[in-house]
Amino acid sequence: MRTLSRAPADPAQVQLVRTKGTKGRGGAPDGEAWRIELDGKRCGTVFINLIDEPPIGKHASLQIYLNKASQGRKIGRLGYAQAVALSKYDTIYAHMQKANIASARAAEEAGFVELDPDAHRQKVMVWRRNASTQE
C-alpha cells in the first residue's frame, strides 16, 4: 500500500483548466468552471454560478471540491486564488458550512473576507478584485 504525501503542493504544479462545466456546476451561460490539476493530473474542480439568494441577492458564488487524496496539501488555497483571478466577476462570494475550517482558511488566504457571521446560517465570505473596497 502506497502512503500519500500530505506535503504542500508546489504552486507551480497546480493549474486550473477551463471547462464547459455542467448543470449547477458552472455550466450555465453566466457560469464558469475549471478542472484543478496537480502536475497534469485532475485533483478537483472549482466553479462559479450566478445565483439569486437572500440576503445577498444576485451574486457570483464559488464552490470548490478536491479529491480526498488532494486535501490537506494547500491545493484549495491555490484553486480559490486562481479561480478568482481568472473569473470575469469582480465580486465573488463563497458559502460554506461554519464548521468547514479548512475551506474558510483556504478562501481567506485567497483574499476572501467573512461577512457578518451572525447574519447568515452558513459562513459567507466575499472577494473583490479591488481589495481596498472589501467589506
**Share above pLDDT 90 across residues of the chain, in percent, rounded to a whole number:** 77
In residues, how long is the chain?
135
CATH of domain 11-129: 3.40.630.30
Over residues 28-82, the pLDDT tens digits come to 999 999 999 999 999 999 999 999 988 789 999 999 999 998 999 999 999 999 9
pTM over 0.85: yes
**What are the strands of the beta sheet with 32-38, ordered from one edge?**
14-19, 32-38, 41-53, 57-66, 91-96, 123-128, 113-114
Q: How far, CA to CA in Å, does 49 sit from each of 17, 88, 99, 117, 129?
A: 17, 12, 23, 22, 17
Q: How far, CA to CA in Å, does 40 sit from each of 19, 35, 110?
A: 15, 10, 22
- DSSP lists the bridge partners of residue 51 as 59
With cut-offs at 50, 70 and 90, classify the pLDDT of residue 2: very low
* Domain positions in the chain: 11-129
